[in-house]
Amino acid sequence: MTTPIIISDEVREALERCAPVVALESALITHGFAYPANLEITHRMADVIRAAGALPAVIGVWEGHPTVGLSETQLERLAQETAVKISIRDLSLAQLRGLHGGTTVAATMLLAHRAGLQVFATGGIGGVHRGHPEDISADLPALATTPVIVVCAGAKAILDLPRTLEFLETWGVPVLGWQTDIFPAFYSRESGLAIDQRINHAAEVAAIYASQRALELQQGLLVTAPIPAEDEIPAQEIEPLIAQALAEVEALGVKGKHVTPHLLARLVALSETRSRRANESLLLNNAGVGAQIAVQLASQSGTMHL
């Protein structure tokens, strides 16, 4: 039995014309934000992408079917109803049970690539967890094996950023800094850690991606854009809250796929929603950068815009 990926008509037509398309994940909707903030931020990201001349395609799982370009009704139901968090290993399990689910960075990258999309904008990738180097997000091996450009604000600050960068180095994933020399730390503009190369224009990202393809590399390309300055939470302010949230996760014995959503929800509560505002700001920024890159790639392929 094969599992076709369902691709919406709008996305299929755009791909046929080689028009710019930007993938968006749905774990943000099902596990990153509560209703109605989850639906609102998705709509706002989609608006930013459309305004820049590209088509947004939210990727998720509907009745067990991997879907590229979820409909408005599907988005609303994912935003309001219980749905599972779907990383790569969950794709086939959800299929068997016919579940609805929100796809993580890893699963979204995989489905985007299978559908022929090249650019994906998100908030922060998963990585190696602090104090638990054995807990490595499936996002990292996905970046090592899936040739998609992922625009993010670095890895979530709740993670072990040095170990996360070491993994990406070992597995050959270039880490680019969008108009920055320093790896961003999600809520804060700078982690103090170096990126591989600063890039200032979408054309440079497109050139690096083209070189990777010419060399037949399987790795993705990580483009890290710092959160806009006005919404940044300085490290010295967010760090004590992260430490508290991490201690609570240890004490409660939260494990596996529940760790990341639990930490993010606790940070929103502990920061009195400031972390949510920061998260929204960086998501909108990343949507804009992703759209610029998608438009650049499409213009190089010598085709029409939307």
Positions annotated as catalytic residues are 25, 156
Tell me, rounded to whole angstroms, the distance of Cα 160 from its chain centroid: 18
- When the beta carbons of 106 and 151 are compared against Mn ion, the nearer one is 106
126 lies in the site for ligand PSU, by CB under 6 A: yes
Nearest of 40, 26, 29, 27 to residue 79 by alpha carbon: 29
| Binding segment toward ligand PSU, per CB under 6 A, in 39-47, 121-129, 209-217, 219-227 | 121-129
Residues in 61-90 that interact with ligand PSU by CB under 6 A: 87
Residue 32: contacted member of Mn ion, ligand PSU, none (CB under 5 to 8 Å, by partner type): ligand PSU
Kindly report the number of other CB atoms within 10 A of residue 125's CB atom.
27
Burial (0-12, 13-18, 19+ Cβ within 10 Å), 192: exposed
275 lies in the site for ligand PSU, by CB under 6 A: no
- When the beta carbons of 110 and 293 are compared against ligand PSU, the nearer one is 110
Distances (CA, A) of 49 to 111, 121, 147, 276, 291: 19, 10, 21, 21, 5
Q: Are 167 and 155 in contact (CB under 8 A)?
A: no
CB 266 → Mn ion: shortest distance, Å?
16
According to CB under 6 A, which one of 104, 191, 224, 275 is a site residue for ligand PSU? Answer: 104
According to CB under 6 A, which one of 137, 164, 188, 275 is a site residue for ligand PSU? Answer: 137
Distances (CA, A) of 94 to 37, 63, 65, 73, 182: 25, 8, 8, 20, 38
Task: Tell me which DSSP letter residue 33 carries.
Answer: S
Nearest of 79, 142, 135 to residue 254 by alpha carbon: 135
Residue 76: contacted member of ligand PSU, Mn ion, none (CB under 5 to 8 Å, by partner type): none
Residues that bind ligand PSU (rule: CB under 6 A) add up to a total of 20
| Binding segment toward ligand PSU, per CB under 6 A, in 35-43, 49-57, 118-126, 205-213 | 118-126
- The three-state DSSP-derived secondary structure of 273-295 is CHHHHHHHHHHHHHHHHHHHHHH
- When the beta carbons of 89 and 97 are compared against ligand PSU, the nearer one is 89
280 lies in the site for ligand PSU, by CB under 6 A: no
CB 172 → ligand PSU: shortest distance, Å?
20
Both structure tokens of 52: 């820049």
Where do contacts with Mn ion occur on this chain (CB under 5 A)?
135
CA dist 202 and 176 (Å) reads 11
- When the beta carbons of 31 and 100 are compared against ligand PSU, the nearer one is 31
Residues in 10-39 that interact with ligand PSU by CB under 6 A: 25, 27-28, 31-32
CA dist 144 and 239 (Å) reads 29
- For ligand PSU, the binding residues (CB under 6 A) are 25, 27-28, 31-32, 87, 104-106, 123-124, 126, 137-139, 156, 257, 260, 264, 279
